[in-house]
Structure 1
């Protein structure tokens, strides 16, 4: 794996922005993963095909990236110390993330990538809340209460 560099961050951000912009231009939809996933589970069948293709493309794109350029894929286990969370803690964490996206009416991709690009005040507030929650969570995990 290569180390972090501003160039890799710029390229990654540009690719994410281009993909979100392309979805908006071609399909008229915001690239909010929680909304795409949640709506794929609903009973509205007219939007189901593109949502399923989008969701399937996420792991497929990662697999293609790993096959084409494995050195560019970061090793998460080396970058993050083991947290040794029990399965119940992981399930509770996942549930809290789901509740947070429901309360914020969107996730980091919808608010952070698409909402900020559209200068949405609601998205600006949501991103500030996400960042504050992340800072508090890191502090608690590293230092305890």
Structure 2
């Protein structure tokens, strides 16, 4: 069963988890701030939009460090490419990727953060709200996967 869950072995997942954990811990130790990807997008939109949500001082005041944080995402991907590590191509149509992105963005705003913010940072700080949100989206994801499989819908 373990081999069916991790056909490429556990090392890539373990390595990724350790690197993510170290990155989030470094951010917290150096700045005292918790990282999360969805707040980066909100703070980025605050450069362009004048609606009350995007004009919040917490978003406007964090734009600079969040840009550096996001640059780390891009740099990490470029380093991965530069090392020539294996990549799995996506066979997903662009419209499904776009729709998924919109739904994930809506869910992140609805839940007050994203999986990285709640699942990594929030749970690490023993935040009860983050634990409840992670339980909710993990349960929803598992049920959705089971329903989609039962309906014969594949990726």
TM-score exceeds 0.5 = yes
Work out whether 1:39 is the aligned partner of 2:43.
yes
Counterpart of 1:105?
A: 112
Shift of 1:45: 4.9
Shift of 1:46: 4.1
Work out whether 1:119 is the aligned partner of 2:126.
yes
Q: 1:24 aligns with which of 9, 22, 28?
A: 28
Question: How many angstroms apart in 2 are the aligned matches of 1:66 and 1:18?
Answer: 20
TM-score normalised according to structure 2 size:
0.74
Shift of 1:132: 1.1
* Change beyond 3 A, Cα 1:106–1:46: closer
Question: How many angstroms apart in 1 are the aligned matches of 2:100 and 2:17?
Answer: 27
Tell me if structure 1 keeps the 8 A contact 2:40–2:63: no
Unaligned stretches of 5+ residues in structure 2: 1-6, 48-58
Unaligned stretches of 5+ residues in structure 1: none
Q: Give the 3-state SS of the residue equivalent to 1:101 in structure 2.
A: helix
Counterpart of 1:3?
A: 8
Q: Any residues of structure 2 matched to 1:121-140 within 5 Å, and which?
A: 121-140=128-147
Counterpart of 1:14?
A: 18
Question: How many angstroms apart in 2 are the aligned matches of 1:127 and 1:46?
Answer: 27
Q: Which has the higher contact order (CA 8 A, sep 6+)?
A: 1
Counterpart of 1:50?
A: 65
Work out whether 1:75 is the aligned partner of 2:83.
no
Counterpart of 1:144?
A: 151
Tell me if structure 1 keeps the 8 A contact 2:118–2:130: yes
* Change beyond 3 A, Cα 1:124–1:45: closer
